[in-house]
Each structure stands twice: as C-alpha cells, then as structure tokens.
Structure 1
C-alpha cells in the first residue's frame, strides 16, 4: 500500500508520498538541511490536500484576473497552497523583472494569508506542467529528474546529432535534458576513435573514415581504390595498430 507522511521541509510543513523504503545513506550523501518526518498522514490530511488543490484552482482564477487589472507583463503558471495553509505560492514566467508589489498587497487582502510570487524559468514551467516529449514519453523533468544540469550545443555535436533547433529542443524551447545522459560515454568514445574524414591505413589498404557509431565503438572506412566501405570495431583498429590505447601510447 502507498504510505503518505507529514514532513518538515525548508518550505514549511508538507504532505508527501513515500516512494523509497527505509535505507542507509552515507553521511556524505545526505542532502542538508535534513528535516524530520513528523508523522504518518491520515484521512483528514488527505482531505486537507484535496481542499488545498480546490482552493489553489480558485486562487489561480483570481490571480489571473488581478494580473490583467494591474496590466502586468507576466504569465501565471501554477498556484500552490502549503499544507498548513500559511502561505499561497504563485509561480509565473516573465521576460524580465516585474514590479508586482501592488499585486501582492491586492492578493494578501483577498486571501488573508502570506503571499509569495515566484518567478521561474521555462524549464521549471515545463517541469510543473508536464507533457509528452519528442520521444513520445512523459517529460523527464516532470517524472524523475531532480535538479536541472547544464546542457550545451557541444553535446549535440559530440553525438553527431542534427543541430536543427527543432530536433534537439524540448517543449520548453531549450536544449533537451537527455543530451546529457550519454554525453560522458560519447566524450570517452571521441578520444578513443578517429574523427570523421581522417585518413586511415589498415591491412586492407588506405581509406577515409566516413562513419562512426560512437556507443558501439564502430568505424566505417571507405577505400576509394577498392570502391567499398568496411566497418571496423575499435578493438580491430587497436590490433592493427591504427588506434592507440592509453596503455600503448
């Protein structure tokens, strides 16, 4: 059965779902500050969560109306009540800085509680809203990714991917997070394998590298005089002395 708990977090008291059973964690792997699990959640707590979601939906509608009234250049993304209802958090995106001080005062007079307006980036927006990626799966950021890691166009180049922005960008419009997943392996392969266009001398003759399968460590070599393309594994090239390993350099 699924267990739910009431926990203390940096944001205050929250309702959470247990997704990993008890386990030992090395001291250096503990993410600080380490807060307490206060107690197991009960049916009343689940009712509170449902009520908070309903209240958040109403707060979203009211805030959107207030944003229009104040003519603010911002896009409301989501609204969240903390479990103890001590605070309402409004998440929004905007191209630049927004002076929302009067909006905060207006919202505080309506909800009679603490108000927080938090500006987020486009990647955070995709994480909160969710969706289907180009791969046909649920977005990584909304399902299992924790913190966002830097992703660069160099990663796409190293993986010999199309540099067409439409093909390597996620729903957020930024480079897809998954470019990072296999990048370390590609970086190692790039050091081990010859580059596209390199001239190679093998026992079969002289040729030119015309294809690379980085993850499988395979190299396609075109032999012009013999009008054919042969595929070699990295180990075969090492055995022929074409490619050197760190141990033989």
Structure 2
C-alpha cells in the first residue's frame, strides 16, 4: 500500500471528525456561488454551471465541461448568487469561447442534421422498428450519439456499420425511455407552459399515484398524465408540503368531536387547514384545524378580530 492509499484508508484521526479545517473550526455547511444557465443546443434545457469571476451576459458564448470533454454553449440568463450545500458537485464555466470555436459549433449543428438524415434513411432501408429522437455530435467530432426509442430490443449492428461508413467517425446508439423522449422533443403541458423536462429538469424523480391522492387531485389519467403518458413530474413539487400539512388532520371518513357535536369528516382543504364535518342532523359545518384542536383540548376559542 502506498503512502497516499494509506492516508485515504485511514480516515479522520482520533481528534477529528472529518468536517473540520486545520484550525479546528467546523467547515461551513453551505457556500455561495454565482450560478449561470448555459444552453448547449437550441431547444435543449439549459444546464447550470458556476460562473466564477466571469462577467457573463445572456447570449455570450462560453466553453463548459461535460462528461465527454469541453463543449460550447450560449449563456441563457444572467448569473445569480445562490447558496448551495458545501459538498454539492458543480462544474465551472471554463472561459469565453473563441470565434473559431463558435464557427465549429455551427459546423457541428450542420453535421448533426446530415447525420440525422443519413440515419433516418438507413433505418427505413433496413426496416428497423425504432424512432430516432435526437442526434448529438461531440464538439471534437470524435463520436456521434443517436438517441432512439423502441418498444423492444433492436438489432442495429448493420445500421451502425452503415453509419460509421457514411460519417467516418465513431457511432453510439442509445435507447431512451418515453420520458426522455418527451424531454428531447419538447412541447407544451396542460398548464400552458413549456414541459418541465424540456425546460429545466435535469433528472427524473420517481412519481407515484400516492402523490396525486395526497394533493386531492382527480384520479383521471387525462388530467394527471403528461405528454409522455406517464404521471406528471410536477406532482412531485408540492408533495412534501401537502404531506407535512396533512399531519394531525383527521382523515376523510373519520369521526371527530366539534363544538356542534360529533360528526364525520367529509372534506379537507389541506392548504387552508380546514375541515368540513357532517353532523348527525344532516347539516355541514366547516372548522379550522386550530378551532378543533382548541375545542378538543378544552381551550377557549381565540378572541374575535377587533373592528378596524
């Protein structure tokens, strides 16, 4: 074992916790960074990078790192100062792009269009049951990635050979799911805005029907499904808030004590924190959760607001 390997495996010493600097003070939990959105292709959702000390304005061309090397993109908005967890991974804008790099960017766009047409023609000729969704040519021209969707497995070995012969570069075929297809194609959602996946989402978090139920949404597939046919990604956004607000609220159908007698909960308004209760005489009364808690704990009701 080398000295470096020994240091890494040893972990923090007996006097340290791993979260301290050399002075013994606890490391800060967050850090402030200048965040900037950069769009690498027209129509693609922007990715966010640390701007550093660069004074960037919308429309400027920059070079950013990717998992396959540097790429050129366009700044999509002014940098914003945000606070992030100290250990959050965040790539940094490398520098402004040169005129030559911008010209190469446009050449790559034209090469991608050509590659798309060649691939579509060969897919038709070979009779493959697949749908070409997106084409990306690496900035250095070392590879072209074809993203496609298909219901099952596709034998594209002959297609790859034909593409390599026509494009004179490496080729990768990447099968994507229906959500990623919607992200690549784009569109407008039920809300009238650009699809979240095409606008800003970088990853897809799990979504379940439980989230729709927690928000009292109608369980109509046409209303809670997106363009991809799957459950709306936005069901995730407020789910935690609804779940927290529901804590302590009597469930639908449960009986509870009210100032007007015992009744059954027939409606909840989670955001307003109110309940509608059906009384034995058939009347319906609405109470706030705070009113019911005060009554059940034997506390007096809050004083009425003073007249203005």
TM-score category of the 2 structures, normalised to the smaller one: 0.7 to 0.9
Count residues in correspondence: 238
- Give the one of 41, 50, 64 matched to 2:97: 41
- Give the one of 94, 107, 121 matched to 1:65: 121
Is 1:228 paired with 2:283?
Answer: yes
Aligned to 1:4: 61
Distance 1:45 1:21 in 2: 26
Is 1:237 paired with 2:300?
Answer: no
- Give the one of 7, 10, 29 matched to 2:88: 29
Q: Which has the larger radius of gyration?
A: 2
Distance 1:114 1:22 in 2: 40
TM-score between the two structures when normalised by the length of structure 1: 0.88
Aligned to 1:93: 149
1:59-87 Cα distance to aligned partner (Å, 9 max, x none): 11110110111221111011111222221
Distance 1:238 1:83 in 2: 63
Shift of 1:37: 4.2
Shift of 1:26: 4.5
- Give the one of 161, 164, 167 matched to 1:108: 164
Distance 1:26 1:219 in 2: 39
TM-score between the two structures when normalised by the length of structure 2: 0.72
1:173-230 Cα distance to aligned partner (Å, 9 max, x none): 11000111111122223332111111122111222111111122111112241x4322
1:100-141 Cα distance to aligned partner (Å, 9 max, x none): 121111100000011111111111111111110011111011
Is 1:83 paired with 2:142?
Answer: no
Runs of 4 or more, structure 1, over 4 Å off, are: 21-26
Distance 2:141 2:70 in 1: 9
Contact 2:186 2:198 in 1 (8 A): yes
Larger helix percent: 1
Shift of 1:22: 7.2
Distance 1:157 1:24 in 2: 33
Shift of 1:28: 1.4
Question: Structure 2 unaligned runs (5+)?
Answer: 1-56, 298-308
Distance 1:90 1:238 in 2: 60
Is 1:165 paired with 2:221?
Answer: yes
RMSD of aligned residue pairs (Cα, Å): 2.0
Is 1:196 paired with 2:252?
Answer: yes
Change (3 A) 1:26 1:85: same
